[in-house]
């Protein structure tokens, strides 16, 4: 019984990678990719339209790298202090 409750606690404490990835993409201007699409892509269950959306994502990320995109540290700090963050999740990393 104890192992089961420990496993449940671990699942609740694990940040959702898809949400973190989506927030990272949004920070560079990519807002057309949903969490659901990222999950479907991970399982290789995308439709043809979704497949092309992922290619667009790859293209846009390559352009960000080639443009030598610089992170605005002040903006990142503002986002880090934002009320939009889940306080429970945010508090674990401090």
- Give the residue extent of every domain in the chain: 2-68
Distance of alpha carbon 87 from alpha carbon 84, whole angstroms: 9
At residue 65, the pLDDT reads 82
At residue 93, the pLDDT reads 47
What are 17-71's pLDDT values in tens digits? 888 888 888 888 888 898 899 889 989 999 999 999 999 999 988 888 888 877 6
Could you tell me which of 85, 88, 92, 86 has the C-alpha nearest to residue 27? 85
At residue 61, the pLDDT reads 86
The band of 14, judged by pLDDT with boundaries at 50, 70 and 90, is low
At residue 94, the pLDDT reads 46
8-state DSSP, 19: H
At residue 56, the pLDDT reads 92
């Amino acid at each position: 019984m104890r192992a089961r409750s420990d496993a449940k606690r671990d699942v609740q404490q694990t940040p959702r990678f898809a949400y973190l990835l989506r927030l990272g993409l949004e920070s560079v201007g990519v807002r057309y990719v949903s969490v659901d699409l990222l999950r479907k892509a991970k399982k290789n269950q995308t439709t043809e339209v979704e497949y092309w959306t992922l290619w667009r994502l790859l293209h846009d990320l390559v352009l960000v790298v080639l443009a030598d995109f610089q992170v605005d540290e002040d903006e990142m700090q503002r986002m880090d202090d934002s009320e939009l963050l889940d306080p429970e999740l945010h508090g674990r990393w401090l």
